[in-house]
Amino acid sequence: MFKRYSITFWATVFVGVVCLSLVGVDVWRSLNARSEQLQEMERLAANVARAMAQQADDTIKAADTALADVVERIETDGQGATPLARLRKQMQWHVANLPQLVGLFVYDQDGRWIVNSRAVLDQTYNNSDREYFIYHRTHTDRGPHVGEPVISRSSGKWIIPVSRRIDRPDGSFGGVALATLDVEYFRRFYQGFDLGARGAVVLVSNGGVLMLRQPYDSERVGGSMRDTELFLHYARQAGAARTGSAFFRSSHDDEVRLNAFRPLEHYPLFVSAALSREEMLERWRRDTFMRSIGVVVLAALIGFFGKRLVNQIRLREQAEKQLREARDALESANRTLERQAMQDGLTGLANRRQFDVTLGNEFSRATRGGGTLAFIMIDVDYFKQYNDLYGHSAGDEVLRAVSKLIRALTPRRPGDLTARYGGEEIGILLPSTDASGAWAVAERIREAVEHLQLPHDGSPFGQVTLSAGVAMLAPRRGEHLAGMLVEAADKALYQAKSQGRNRVCIADSQ
Ligand SMILES: Nc1nc2c(ncn2[C@@H]2O[C@H](COP(=O)(O)OP(=O)(O)OP(=O)(O)O)[C@@H](O)[C@H]2O)c(=O)[nH]1
């Protein structure tokens, strides 16, 4: 499979995979960083919410403890001048020691002040119309009640009323003890948290009234949160699920924020610390953008240099291919040249050079192995006359036709060789052949040429014929030479010529 594709293909694939991996790893890393950033922000918001809830709980608890003390005293000591004077001192002490307290107040059953933490008691104020007063008059429970924020009639500040019911000895409604908490006190605490430029924190009653929001907006204090996604979500939760976080779009400024919400432990309120999603992801976006530029530049560089490398490889491959083709062409040309060097151009038979080499080899082999070596020398009769009569080209044609016939009729054993010996003479070398075998071959060729009946008016036979001389030698070292075989065949040929031509003669054995 690997061989099917070129090295340039694999180099391109490699560069592509490297670039894609680089981008892929960066995308994966960026998504991870985004989710980590969100998780970290979620933890931060949850911690702020916990701190806010704890602070609100502690703040109200401290005021409520003072309130419980006031209720206990007034119910135990009654409303005489002396106990009320002592109670005022006690109330003043509480207010002086609890910075969140604006004041402590006690109202009779009609809503008139009977004692408060102030030095002067102004009888003109009547708070029987306040929500917390109506609540205690109509509810007998003795627990604390956290009311909606109101603007204090005495101080003009936004306050959160925390109140308890005062019972007469017979259990009937005897009035209300009230502690007013300074909204500003909460605000100062909330200002200490850094939730970014677009973050927000809220303190909300379980009834959906906004006690405080930071960034502060006095218009919104005491307003309704009941239609907000945050409140609707929180109101649907119960138990442990009331502590959690979720993204909500703010109805106030349309900002999408991650809200970490949490209820107060002892009072019917909850807090929410919210971080802007856009702001949370801003740093991540900036980092991702910068790194993406780096990765894109790197991938582009790798791609650029990779392409150049691939081009180089392609060029080298092309050069190698051309070299291979040139080498093959050269080898083929060499083979042709070699063949041509050993072949006769006119007849296609082996030439004299090859004949001499083969004769030398076969002679040595026969000498070593004690075998025989036969040789036939063939010569076209009256060829000079043929040339003179029909022209040299026609003579060539005859030579070609005779050669073709001889090649077809010559045995093809290893070592057999038919060669153009020179001029119109053709020699046939037949190793391991005796004289009669060679004579039979020569005679078959002579007959075949005779049967061709090529017209030759210059010959007494009236057609092209040939004569052949056959010689055989069992060469012995030191006694015979290769040339002796040719000489003997030549002599036999001369004999055939002198005996009238168109015949085969065998040389005397040596
Ligand atoms: N057309 C042609 N003629 C050739 C070629 N090589 C040699 N010859 C001619 O062959 C002739 C050989 O003649 P000789 O051997 O003297 O005698 P011959 O005419 O064949 O007569 P005998 O051999 O005595 O029968 C010469 O005329 C050469 O020119 C060749 O390649 N082509």
SS3 91: helix
Q: Which atom of ligand 1 is the closest one to the Cα of 381? A: 25
Residue nearest to atom 14 of ligand 1 (CA): 384
Residue indicated by tokens 């627990």:
143
Residues 6+ apart with CB under 8 A from 389: 456, 457, 458
Residue nearest to atom 1 of ligand 1 (CA): 395
Q: Which atom of ligand 1 is the closest one to the Cα of 346? A: 31
Q: Tell me the mean pLDDT in the region 305-320.
A: 90
Chain CA centroid to CA 14, Å: 10
To 10 degrees, what angle do helices 392-409 and 383-390 make?
A: 130
Q: Comparing C-alpha atoms, which of 184, 188, 181, 183 is closest to residue 102?
A: 181
Token readout for 286 is 């900036």
Q: Tell me the mean pLDDT in the region 461-487.
A: 93
Q: Is the pLDDT of residue 208 over 90?
A: yes
pLDDT one-digit tens code per residue, 425-436:
999 999 999 999
Token readout for 322 is 């051309």
Asked if this assembly's ipTM is beyond 0.90, the reply is: yes
Q: Are 130 and 113 in contact (CB under 8 A)?
A: no
> Pick the residue with more confidence: 342 or 447?
447
DSSP 169-208: TTSSEEEEEEEEEEHHHHHHHHHTS---TT-EEEEEETTS
Residue nearest to atom 23 of ligand 1 (CA): 381
Pairing type for strands 466-473 and 504-506 reads parallel
Superfamily of domain 1-337: PAS domain (3.30.450.20)
User: Any idea what the Cα angle at residue 499 is, between residues 497 and 500, rounded to 5°?
Assistant: 70
Q: Tell me the mean pLDDT in the region 292-310.
A: 90
Q: Comparing C-alpha atoms, which of 183, 201, 181, 180 is closest to residue 192?
A: 201
Ligand 1 centre to CA of 345 (Å) is 17
Q: Are 460 and 466 in contact (CB under 8 A)?
A: no
Q: Comparing C-alpha atoms, which of 189, 183, 202, 225 is closest to residue 275?
A: 202
Q: Are 211 and 56 in contact (CB under 8 A)?
A: no
Binding site membership of 384 for ligand 1 (Cβ less than 6 Å): yes
pLDDT value for 3: 63
pLDDT one-digit tens code per residue, 25-35:
999 999 999 99
Q: Are 485 and 473 in contact (CB under 8 A)?
A: yes
> Pick the residue with more confidence: 414 or 456?
456
Considering the chain, what percentage of its residues have pLDDT values greater than 70? Answer: 98
Neighbours of 191 (CB within 10 A): 12
Residue nearest to atom 27 of ligand 1 (CA): 384
Q: Kindly compute the dihedral angle of the four CA atoms of residues 491, 496, 501, 503, in this order, to the nearest 10 degrees.
A: -130
Residues 142, 147, 153, 156, CA torsion sign: positive
Residue nearest to atom 3 of ligand 1 (CA): 395
Binding site membership of 395 for ligand 1 (Cβ less than 6 Å): yes
Ligand 1 centre to CA of 351 (Å) is 17
Binding site membership of 306 for ligand 1 (Cβ less than 6 Å): no
Binding site membership of 381 for ligand 1 (Cβ less than 6 Å): yes
pLDDT value for 193: 85
Binding site membership of 75 for ligand 1 (Cβ less than 6 Å): no
Work out the pLDDT band at 214, boundaries 50, 70, 90.
Answer: confident
Ligand 1 centre to CA of 487 (Å) is 19
User: Any idea what the Cα angle at residue 5 is, between residues 3 and 10, rounded to 5°?
Assistant: 110
Determine which helix (DSSP H) or strand (DSSP E) holds 388, and give its type and residue range. Answer: helix 383-390
Binding site membership of 193 for ligand 1 (Cβ less than 6 Å): no
User: Any idea what the Cα angle at residue 347 is, between residues 344 and 349, rounded to 5°?
Assistant: 60
Determine which helix (DSSP H) or strand (DSSP E) holds 102, and give its type and residue range. Answer: strand 101-107
> The domain 352-506: what is its CATH number?
3.30.70.270
Q: Is the pLDDT of residue 399 over 90?
A: yes
Q: Are 280 and 33 in contact (CB under 8 A)?
A: no
Binding site membership of 424 for ligand 1 (Cβ less than 6 Å): yes
Considering the chain, what percentage of its residues have pLDDT values greater than 90? Answer: 68
Domain residue ranges of the chain, discontinuous segments joined by +: 1-337, 352-506
Please list the alpha-helical segments (H only) found in 410-499.
435-452, 482-498
Choice from 424, 446, 457, 495 to test ligand 1 binding pocket (greatest atom count within 8 A of CB): 424
Tally of residues, the chain: 510
Q: Is the peptide bond before 475 cis (omega within 30 degrees of 0)?
A: no
Token readout for 84 is 């009320």
SS3 271: strand
pLDDT value for 281: 87
Asked about 75 being catalytic, the answer comes back as no
